């Protein structure tokens, strides 16, 4: 499955547009799980843990988007955009992704 932010795929022809697909999930902004008690007071380690959590959540949203596209019979998702919003008093993130499922030749 090809997933791209561009509206086309070089060297491939889009033969059918199957429709817009979206997905959404929540993630903790700062997750100290896995950090030692001492490390939970080190902001650099807390921020690093938060960055890793955000990256993992983005990948999870893309996996869910890919699963939806496969169910539709798509070969690729083009025009993918992602949005990350801080919600719930700066403790949670809402992560959304959107793209167009397409069939390629």
pLDDT tens series, the chain, 105 aa: 999 999 999 999 999 999 999 999 988 765 556 656 666 566 666 556 667 778 888 999 999 999 999 999 999 999 999 998 888 776 788 999 999 999 999
Given this model, what pLDDT does residue 28 score? Answer: 74
Where residue 34 falls (left for φ over 0; alpha for ψ -120 to 50; beta otherwise) is left
Two tokens, residue 10: 């070089």
- Residue 77 pairs in a beta bridge with 3, 101
- Tell me the whole-structure pTM to 2 decimals: 0.79
Given this model, what pLDDT does residue 75 score? Answer: 98
DSSP 1: -
CA 9 – CA 76 distance, rounded (Å): 9
DSSP 41: G
Instruction: List the domains of the chain with CATH numbers.
Output: 2-104 (3.30.110.70)
Given this model, what pLDDT does residue 86 score? Answer: 82
Two tokens, residue 40: 């939970």
């Amino acid at each position: 499955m090809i997933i791209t932010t561009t509206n086309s795929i070089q060297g491939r022809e889009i033969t059918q547009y199957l429709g817009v697909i979206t997905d959404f999930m929540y993630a903790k902004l700062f997750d100290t799980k896995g950090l030692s008690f001492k490390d939970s007071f080190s902001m650099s380690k807390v921020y690093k843990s938060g960055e890793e959590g955000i990256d993992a959540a983005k990948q999870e949203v893309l996996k869910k988007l890919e699963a939806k596209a496969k169910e539709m019979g798509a070969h690729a998702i083009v025009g993918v955009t992602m949005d990350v919003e801080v919600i719930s008093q700066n403790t949670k993130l809402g992560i959304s992704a959107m793209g167009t499922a397409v069939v390629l030749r």
